[in-house]
């Protein structure tokens, strides 16, 4: 049974998609061991509580240095014996000490088709603002492994979503979530939990 640690900062709709997929059997051989937020007021923590999942806050503000914060987060992940870290709208950069300890065991959902509209500065609504500004007709979402860079790790799954002429960043964000993120993230976890993913030369192969 794969023990998942979900890291969140905000509303937690992607966390909800994982919870629902476990409850309805779309994810097997996995359970959420811990939900960890950097933000005490994240609604994601409420969602965890409602489903009897342990939730906690580890905030950088409560530590004297960034280093101490990173050690506290790493300590919690190790204490909970987490096998897979899922970044589900987590707005804090994952430090090298955690990337090294969890090689190819951290996944992130990004709301664009990587390598477009990703990297430093592209988070939250800024991604969708960039998409509308450039005028691309298709965007989407990507689930990828996390490496030392920003949005540079091996790509696991991608799904395209149409951009409509009347879109605002908010309407586009919602469509990308509904049509891509909430589907892809549980699907990627299901593949990992059932040992269907191999990484070779920085590329993901899906087996079976």
Query: Is residue 110 annotated as a catalytic residue, yes or no?
Result: yes
Residue 10 touching ligand GRF (CB under 6 A)? yes
CA separation for the pair 137, 149 (Å, rounded): 27
Residue 12 touching ligand GRF (CB under 6 A)? yes
Among 154, 181, 192, 197, contact with ligand GRF (rule: CB under 6 A): 181
Give the angle 201-205-207 at the CA atoms, nearest 5°: 145
Backbone Cα Rg of the chain? 16
Among 5, 89, 140, 154, contact with ligand GRF (rule: CB under 6 A): 89
Q: Is the peptide bond before 115 cis (omega within 30 degrees of 0)?
A: yes
Nearer to ligand GRF (CB atom), residue 30 or residue 86: 86
Residue 184 touching ligand GRF (CB under 6 A)? no
Question: 162: closest CA among 130, 127, 136?
Answer: 136
Asked if residue 89 lies in contact with residue 14, where contact means CB atoms within 8 angstroms, the answer is yes
Residue 112 touching ligand GRF (CB under 6 A)? no
Conformation bin of residue 140: beta by default, left when phi > 0, alpha when psi is -120 to 50: left
Among 4, 14, 34, 38, contact with ligand GRF (rule: CB under 6 A): 14
User: Residues, the chain, total?
Assistant: 208
Residue 119 touching ligand GRF (CB under 6 A)? no
Q: Which stretch binds ligand GRF (CB under 6 A): 57-65, 68-76, 104-112, 143-151?
A: 104-112
Nearer to ligand GRF (CB atom), residue 156 or residue 177: 177
Half-sphere exposure of 122 (CA within 13 A, CB side): 21
Q: Which stretch binds ligand GRF (CB under 6 A): 6-14, 53-61, 164-172, 197-205?
A: 6-14
Binding site for ligand GRF (CB under 6 A): 8, 10-14, 44, 88-89, 109-111, 124, 177, 181
Positions marked catalytic: 110
């Amino acid at each position: 049974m794969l023990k998942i640690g979900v890291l969140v900062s905000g509303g937690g709709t992607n966390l909800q998609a994982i919870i629902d997929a476990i409850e309805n059997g779309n994810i097997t051989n996995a359970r959420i061991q811990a939900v960890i937020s950097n933000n005490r007021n994240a609604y994601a923590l409420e969602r965890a509580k409602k489903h009897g999942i342990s939730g906690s806050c580890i905030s950088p503000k409560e530590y004297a240095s960034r280093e101490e914060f990173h050690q506290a987060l790493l300590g919690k992940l190790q204490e909970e014996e987490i096998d897979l870290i899922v970044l589900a709208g987590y707005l804090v950069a994952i430090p090298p000490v955690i990337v090294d300890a969890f090689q190819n065991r951290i996944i992130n959902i990004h709301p664009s088709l990587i390598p477009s509209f990703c990297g430093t500065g592209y988070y939250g609504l800024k991604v969708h603002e960039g998409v509308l500004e450039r005028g691309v007709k298709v965007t989407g979402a990507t689930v990828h492994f996390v490496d030392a860079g920003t949005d540079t790790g091996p790509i696991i799954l991608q799904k395209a979503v149409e951009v409509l002429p009347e879109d605002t960043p908010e309407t586009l964000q919602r469509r990308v979530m509904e049509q891509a993120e909430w589907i892809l993230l549980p699907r990627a976890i299901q593949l990992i939990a059932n040992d269907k993913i191999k990484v070779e030369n920085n590329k993901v192969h899906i087996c079976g």
